[in-house]
Each structure stands twice: as structure tokens, then as C-alpha cells.
Amino acid sequence: MRNKEIHSFWLEGDLTDINLLTIRSFQDKGHKFIIHGYDSNLTKECEIRDASEVLPKSDWKYYTGLASKFRLGLIGDTLRARLLYKYGGVHVDLDVTCLKPIDFEEEYVFRPHNLGVVMNFVKCPPRSQFAQHYIDYTNSVDVNKNDWCGSFAGLIEGIKRYNLEPYIKTPEVLGMDEREWWKPLLQKNHPPRSEYIIHWCNTTGLNNNYIKGCYYQNLLKQYGLRETSGRSYVEYYCHRGVNILEHNFYRARNYWNKSDKQLLNKLGVEDGLRQSVS
């Protein structure tokens, strides 16, 4: 089988339904799923490899002005870059559902994005110049700039430098990180037409309510996972003391809806303030 091993990573905290859905969906399509993490007891669902062998915690660099998980962005990109260099192969984020066996023959595969490409699905050969460039870029990032998207700019730069643009798949193959792509999957029972994967953009499970009978809920049933509508994205992070209205990435991407704004008012969280609600 091509691309037998699928690599991912996890930095901290417990896995949720959507993460287990990622593991089980890839396994169901015949792949071996490997998580590189810092907790050997994270899950028994798949193989866990010690991420500290690739990126020791002593080498972690945080964005200084971002709260909660957003400050981990640079750490995630640094670890991903090093994993790509060491192992090569296919690397995915833990909120990606596999719909078809990943049978791409090409040495490189990239996922399209309105910024050019995105890092939640990447394939490259081991010890590539591209991956080395990605590593060098993450090592040079200024942690005081607090640009959550900035650390994966090295991925985009590397593609341009080594003329890898022809390896960027179309949205019909790997989808897009846009609300119009994943939102219908939370509202209706209409499966994607042709895509190999779904990247949920952390919009399900704890982060977003879904409608009973929708495609996402049916995926949970298919893979033996519990059915919980969970809390909305805003509620989840407000209860962790994060005012994500300060986070320009999500504000710019319009991940807000009317119920989100009502919830913010209810919780008493105002734009420009950093406040914990418990």
C-alpha cells in the first residue's frame, strides 16, 4: 500500500472525539497511524512515538503575547518541520478525517489554501531541502511578533523556492479550509463529492454544535464514537480564560455567528479584554 504510515503529533491535553475520528478513519482505510507526542499514555488507539526525540520540550518556543493553545502554534510548526525532515511521508493534523486511501504517487503533495497552501496535510520525501527550509524558517521566527499564522510561512516559502507549486492539489481533491466546505457537513447529511479528506478546522466536537443527523454525526456513529453536540468554539475558549476576539486570525476568517456573539454577551467577555470565565 502506498503511504502506509500516516504521521501526526499532539502537544498537550486529552484527545477528543474528533481526534479519535482522525485515527480511526485513517486506520479504516488501511493506514498505520502514528502520533508523535509527549505522553506515552495518550491513547491506545495507535502507536505513540516520543516527540522529545525530535523536539525536546527544552527547545519549545512560545509566542509571548498569545494565550492558551494559540501560543503553541510555533511549537507545532517546529515539530512538524522536523518530523517531515526525519520521516518524510504523509503528515496530517489530528482534526482531519480520511475518506479514501491516501494513494498519491507523487513525492510531494500539498493542500490548497487562500494563503497558497496549508500545513494540515503535507507529503514530502525524508531529508528534503524543502523540509530543511521549513525547519530553518521556524528557527528564525520572532516570538514577539505573535503572528499565529506566521510560523508556517516557511512552508509556503519552501514551495516557491523549490518550484513545488505543481504539487498543490485542487480543492476537489483535498478540499479547502473555508466555512463553505465544512459547514454543510455539520448541518446536512451530504457527504463530500470527491475529496480524500475533510479538515474540520477545529469546528466540531467541543467547538461547535452540529445538527442531528448531519454527516459529521453519522461519521461519529460509523466509527463508534459518542454523540455529543458539545459547546461552541467561543464558549470553549472563554472558559479557558481566552478572549479570542483578540485573535485576528479567527476574527478575520469570520468564524463568528449570531449565537457566538450572544454567548459572548452572556459570558460578559468584551473585545479587547483578557478575562477568565469559570
**Residue 177 confidence (pLDDT):** 87
pTM above threshold 0.85: no
Tell me, yes or no, whether 239 and 136 share the same domain: no
Tell me, yes or no, whether 149 and 253 share the same domain: no
- Is 42 domain-assigned? yes
Query: CATH number, domain at 94?
Result: 3.90.550.20
Q: Please check the confidence at residue 248 and state whether its pLDDT lies above 50.
A: no
Contact predicate 120/200, CB 8 Å: no
Contact predicate 60/37, CB 8 Å: no
- Looking at the chain, the whole-number percentage of residues with pLDDT higher than 70 is 75
Q: Please check the confidence at residue 114 and state whether its pLDDT lies above 70.
A: yes
- Is 80 domain-assigned? yes
Q: Which of 124, 139, 174 is the last residue of a domain?
A: 174
Tell me, yes or no, whether 258 and 151 share the same domain: no
Q: Which of 153, 174, 195 is the last residue of a domain?
A: 174
- Is 197 domain-assigned? no
CB atoms within 10 A of CB 251: 13
Q: Please check the confidence at residue 136 and state whether its pLDDT lies above 60.
A: yes
Tell me, yes or no, whether 24 and 109 share the same domain: yes
Rg for the chain (alpha carbons), in Å?
18
**Cell 461519521 belongs to residue:** 219
Q: Please check the confidence at residue 91 and state whether its pLDDT lies above 70.
A: yes
Q: Which of 136, 152, 174 is the last residue of a domain?
A: 174
**Residue 68 confidence (pLDDT):** 61
Q: Please check the confidence at residue 255 and state whether its pLDDT lies above 70.
A: no
- Is 31 domain-assigned? yes
In this prediction, residues 36-60 reach a mean pLDDT of 96
Tell me, yes or no, whether 164 and 238 share the same domain: no
In this prediction, residues 190-215 reach a mean pLDDT of 77
Sequence-separated (6 or more) residues with CB below 8 Å from residue 110: 117, 121, 122, 123, 159, 164, 167, 168, 169
**Residue 67 confidence (pLDDT):** 65
Highest mean pLDDT among 126-135, 148-157, 198-207: 126-135
Looking at the chain, the number of H-run helices and the number of E-run strands are: 10, 8
- Is 275 domain-assigned? yes
Stronger pLDDT, 108 or 238, i.e. the higher one: 108
Q: How confident is the model at residue 254 (pLDDT cuts 50, 70, 90)?
A: very low
Sequence-separated (6 or more) residues with CB below 8 Å from residue 93: 8, 22, 119, 120, 121, 199
Beta strand 47-50 with 32-37: parallel, antiparallel or unpaired?
A: parallel
- Is 214 domain-assigned? no
Tell me, yes or no, whether 244 and 125 share the same domain: no
HSE of 180, CA atoms in CB hemisphere, 13 A: 2
What mean pLDDT is reported for the chain? 80
In this prediction, residues 67-73 reach a mean pLDDT of 69
- Looking at the chain, the whole-number percentage of residues with pLDDT higher than 90 is 51
- Is 201 domain-assigned? no
Stronger pLDDT, 200 or 97, i.e. the higher one: 97
Sequence-separated (6 or more) residues with CB below 8 Å from residue 143: 61, 62, 63, 64, 74
Q: How many domains does the chain have?
A: 2
| Structural domain boundaries, residue 137 | 5-174
In this prediction, residues 42-64 reach a mean pLDDT of 94
- Is 113 domain-assigned? yes
Segment (H or E) for 119? strand 116-124
Contact predicate 89/122, CB 8 Å: no
Tell me, yes or no, whether 142 and 273 share the same domain: no
Tell me, yes or no, whether 243 and 149 share the same domain: no
Tell me, yes or no, whether 74 and 150 share the same domain: yes
Tell me, yes or no, whether 245 and 110 share the same domain: no
Tell me, yes or no, whether 61 and 164 share the same domain: yes
Sequence-separated (6 or more) residues with CB below 8 Å from residue 57: 38
Tell me, yes or no, whether 37 and 149 share the same domain: yes
Q: Please check the confidence at residue 71 and state whether its pLDDT lies above 60.
A: yes
Q: Please check the confidence at residue 185 and state whether its pLDDT lies above 80.
A: yes
